[in-house]
Structure 1
Amino acid sequence: MRCNTIRFSAILLIMVLGCSSTALRQKPSFVEASLEQWPEYYSKNRDNILTMKSEAVITLESPAIAGNFTAEMLYGAPDTLFLKAEGPLGIDLGKTFIGRKRFILYNQFNNTFFSGSLNDKYYSTFLETDVALNDIKETIIGYPPLPGNIRLIDEKHGIFMTGTDVGKKRYVVNTKNWQLESIEIFKNDRMVIKQEFERYTSEQGIPIPRLIRIILPHKKEMVAIY
């Protein structure tokens, strides 16, 4: 029953998104102001993205696997993502559905489904990497959600911080156009994840990065989406 429910949700998402590439509530406006207002500007852009449909190339680099494949992406705000992966010659590699709290993976080769909680650190990872499915979901549109306690610490270099020494995030923002360039996630002063956002283009007035990298430096792993 659980699998049927998730499959129905995925099909419904496809039906909703099938007619448009990106649907927005309204066009945001960029106003010259203090960089302290960047979190509000960023969050408005994110909130205005209702749906997104696109095709991308995903590159994987890790000690266990290296290669790339194409993927069809369907995103529905605020927290639903469907990915269909294809290999060479259009071979169906499988499908991934990520909801608010749960995920389902379909393996095309052995025709099996696997579902679980996004809180499961062992199973809720992307293919043969340790990149969390939740990080994929939050990052793939280029607008990961911001925590409420984010603060500007270096206006000249566009650096924001959040958290404490035990666990903190460092945001680097372009001071000229207010585009997010990177997020660095630290645990006990050790960087465990870096997310990079490049090649921005305007989609109905909203800047969207066309190259996204999720890097696990200590694991020597990277997922690039472009």
Structure 2
Amino acid sequence: MKKIAIFILSVLLLSCAVRKQVSPDIQKVSYKQLLRLNEARIARIHSLQAEAKITVDSPEFSGNFSADIYLTGGDSLLLSITGPMGLPMGKVFIAPKRFIFYNQVMNQFMTGTLKQFESLNLFQFPFHVSEIGDVFLAKDAFDILKKNDYRVQDGMYFLDATAGQWSYRIWFDPALLVIKKIEYRSGDQLLFYKTYDQFEEIDGVYFPKSINFVRPEMRQGFSLYYESVRLNRKIDRKYFDIKISDSAKQINLSVNQ
């Protein structure tokens, strides 16, 4: 019993040591270094294969579902959506210029342009179709930024910067040196913010299992929790094959353009 107690105490002490907080020091870590690390992190992610829980909340709609996610090259995305009790709801494939959506509940097969997909707002996501890949990959890429302020805030590295008409407020984790929270602004107006939590090192990349996207003014929120993540693995093309029922109603939105 005494040996067991000593073993448990050792484990607790070890876990405390692992969780030891790192104090940010702006004299040792510059904002340019943080931005370079962010750029390098983005460059290392080429594909994503994951299982996730997604929650969407707005004044018009509130719901949650499970999703299998396949993303290659940052521009081809397949979502396989499952509802309550494992009920298959649909699959959507998004390419650079077109989309395919198979609504398994309504037994409809729909194709069209990305602009048409945007107008349908099928999943009530609070961001544009062109931003889906960036959100799922926890990707925040910047043009040349002009520093307004760089300091320690709330125990993290804090950067206030602008690029043209856009401004950003960014908080970096002091230990992992990755973005934990970022606000996107136009002038003094907060457009939206994103938060990243529960980072894991996957294929040499620190990747968040928890992602939140919020538009406060419109009271719209999107939460994603990854149950499993595989980065930079070759994705079998079979996952992008969408098999539909022979009786499915086919709708080509481009025909009426």
Q: Where on the TM-score scale, by shorter chain, does this alignment land: which range?
A: 0.7 to 0.9
Residue in structure 1 matched with residue 30 of structure 2 by the alignment: 34
| Shift in alpha-carbon separation, 1:60–1:159, aligned structure 2, 3 A | same
Query: Considering only CA atoms, is the larger Rg found in Structure 1 or Structure 2?
Result: 2
For residues 20-169 of structure 1, what are the structure 2 equivalents within 5 Å?
Answer: 33-110=29-106, 111-117=108-114, 123=119, 125=121, 127-144=123-140, 146-152=141-147, 153-156=149-152, 157-164=157-164, 166-169=165-168
| Shift in alpha-carbon separation, 1:202–1:139, aligned structure 2, 3 A | same
**Normalising by structure 1, what TM-score?**
0.75
Residue in structure 2 matched with residue 189 of structure 1 by the alignment: 188
1:154-202 Cα offsets, whole Å, 9 max, x none, are: 14332142324x4333322223321111221123421121111111111
| Shift in alpha-carbon separation, 1:101–1:158, aligned structure 2, 3 A | farther
- What amino acid sits opposite 1:117 in the alignment? L
Instruction: Find the aligned partners of 1:91 and 1:58 in 2 and give their Cα distance.
Output: 15
**Normalising by structure 2, what TM-score?**
0.67
Residue in structure 1 matched with residue 242 of structure 2 by the alignment: none
Whether 1:221 aligns to 2:216 is no
Secondary structure of 1:149 counterpart:
coil
Contact map agreement 2:66 2:82 (CA 8 A) in 1: yes
1:83-134 Cα offsets, whole Å, 9 max, x none, are: 111012221111222233443333222313142235x695174613442222
Give me the identity figure in percent. 21
Contact map agreement 1:79 1:138 (CA 8 A) in 2: no
Instruction: Find the aligned partners of 1:192 and 1:128 in 2 and give their Cα distance.
Output: 17
Instruction: Find the aligned partners of 1:163 and 1:33 in 2 and give their Cα distance.
Output: 22
Structure 1: stretches of 5+ with no match in the other structure = 1-31
Instruction: Find the aligned partners of 2:87 and 2:191 in 1 and give their Cα distance.
Output: 34
Residue in structure 2 matched with residue 24 of structure 1 by the alignment: none
Secondary structure of 2:78 counterpart:
strand
1:57-99 Cα offsets, whole Å, 9 max, x none, are: 0011111221211000111123222111101222111122223
Contact map agreement 1:79 1:137 (CA 8 A) in 2: yes
Residue in structure 1 matched with residue 25 of structure 2 by the alignment: none
